[in-house]
Amino acid sequence: MRHVIFLLEKERYALPLADIREVVVPPEQWSRVPRAPDAIRGVINLRGRVVTVVELRALLGIASEGAPSRKIVLLDRGRRDLGLMVTEVEGIEPIERVSPAPGKPAGSVRGVARLKGLAVTVLDPEGVDASVAGLFGSK
């Protein structure tokens, strides 16, 4: 199965290509959502569609080391889009085998894989979507 490989800070992550609509560069103009959780960066208008944009590292609890988020990966969630801010997109690669992640399972993480000798954390699109929905449910 082919996956989109991207960086959050210096760590590699992947999402199934079938769940990605596109990758875009963040716009200059943002609309902040009042009283939204910190992980919610805001909303953007992308060709007439309102897209909620989430800082993925904040959603996953990754401390920011200063590397700016330079891309938005759009998850295709049917009638709505969800944008995930990532540091950089590396490309599309086949991932054959995903092993369970060590430690306590997280809803957003499907497992880990090896790609060209490097570890890649494979995310679960439904788990990421549920984590974002949980942010709004807790407010």
Residues 12-63 have pLDDT tens digits of 999 999 999 999 999 887 888 888 888 999 999 888 888 999 999 999 988 8
Q: Are 60 and 8 in contact (CB under 8 A)?
A: yes
Name the maximum alpha-carbon separation found in the chain.
43
pLDDT in tens, 52-104: 999 999 999 888 777 788 999 999 877 778 999 999 999 999 998 999 877 76
pLDDT over threshold 70, residue 139: no
- Amino acid 104: pLDDT: 64
26-33 contacts at long range (C-beta below 8 A, 24 or more positions apart): 26/53, 26/69, 26/70, 26/71, 26/72, 26/85
- Amino acid 68: pLDDT: 80
Q: What is the mean pLDDT of the chain?
A: 88
Rounded to two decimals, the pTM is 0.89
Domain boundaries, the chain: 2-137
Q: Are 89 and 73 in contact (CB under 8 A)?
A: yes
SS3 sequence of the chain: CEEEEEEECCEEEEEEHHHEEEEECCCCCCECCCCCCCCEEEEEEECCEEEEEEEHHHHHCCCCCCCCCCEEEEEEECCEEEEEEECEEEEEEECCCCECCCCCCCCCEEEEEEECCEEEEEECHHHHHHHHHHHHHCC
C-alpha distances in angstroms, 31 versus 36, 46, 60? Answer: 12, 12, 22
CATH class of 2-137: mainly beta
- Amino acid 98: pLDDT: 92
- Amino acid 43: pLDDT: 92
- Amino acid 135: pLDDT: 84
- Amino acid 105: pLDDT: 64
